[in-house]
């Protein structure tokens, strides 16, 4: 079963951490991605830039409107994800719990939809 482990982050929470704690988060990500690679469950991962680097695009009446910044300002936002393929939903929970940010913010597990289906 394929899932995205969506990492929520909150700059205020992250800034309140000690340098040691912050370093532990970075090291934790290295260790976690290595573990996923080793277990054969990793499909991919990305870390996202701060939303202040975003561009929001809308098409209205055929006209493209691109504006700087995110669509909505939020305290918590998506910081990145791990795409995993694991045996069970329980395993997905166990994996999400190993993402370092889970100790400070939250990880959302979203199942990936399949391009396959059974006739009813």
Partner 1 sequence: MTGAPGLEDLLRACAPQVLGALVRRHGQFDAAEDAVQEALLAAFRQWPTEGVPENPRSWLVTVAARRLTDTFRSESARQRRELVSAPEEPPPVPGTDDTLTLFFLCCHPALSPTTQAALTLRAVGGLTTAEVAAAFLVPEATMAQRISRAKARLRGAEFVLPPPEDRAQRLSVVLRVLYLIFNEGYVATAGPALHRADLTAEAIRLTRAIRASLPTGAHPSAGASGGGASDTGGTPGGRGTPGGHGTPGGRGGSNDGSGSDGSGSDGSGSDGSGPGSGGAGSRGGAELAGAAGEVAGLLALMLLTEARRPARLGADGDLVPLADQDRLSWDGALISEGVALLTETLPVAPLGPYQLQAAIAAVHAEAPSAADTDWPQIVALYTLLERFEPGPMVTLNRAVAVAQVHGPQAGLELLDTLRPQLDRHHRWHAVRAHLLELAGDPAGARAAYREAARRTLSRPEQRYLNTRASRLAGG
- Of 63, 64, 66, 118, which one interacts with partner 1 (CB under 8 A)? 118
Task: Classify the C-alpha dihedral 42-23-78-108 as positive or negative.
Answer: positive
**Rule CB under 8 A: is residue 48 a binding residue for partner 1?**
no
From the list 4-12, 52-60, 68-76, 106-114, the region that binds partner 1 by CB under 8 A is 106-114
- Of 40, 49, 55, 72, which one interacts with partner 1 (CB under 8 A)? 40
**Rule CB under 8 A: is residue 90 a binding residue for partner 1?**
no
Cα distances (Å, whole numbers) of residue 87 to 10, 94, 99, 106, 112: 30, 11, 18, 22, 14
Residue labelled with tokens 């976690």: 32
Residues that bind partner 1 (CB under 8 A): 2, 37-44, 85, 87, 111-120
């Amino acid at each position: 079963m394929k899932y995205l482990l969506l990492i929520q982050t909150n700059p205020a929470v992250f800034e309140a951490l000690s340098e040691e704690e912050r370093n532990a988060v970075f090291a934790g990500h290295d260790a976690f991605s290595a573990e996923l690679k080793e277990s054969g469950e990793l499909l991919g991962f990305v870390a996202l830039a701060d939303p202040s680097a975003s561009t929001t695009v809308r098409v209205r009446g055929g006209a493209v409107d691109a504006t700087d910044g995110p669509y909505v300002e939020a305290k918590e936002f998506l910081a990145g994800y791990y795409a995993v393929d694991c045996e069970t939903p329980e395993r997905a929970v166990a994996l999400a719990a190993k993402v370092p940010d889970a100790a400070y913010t939250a990880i959302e597990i979203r199942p990936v939809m399949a391009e396959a289906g059974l006739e009813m």
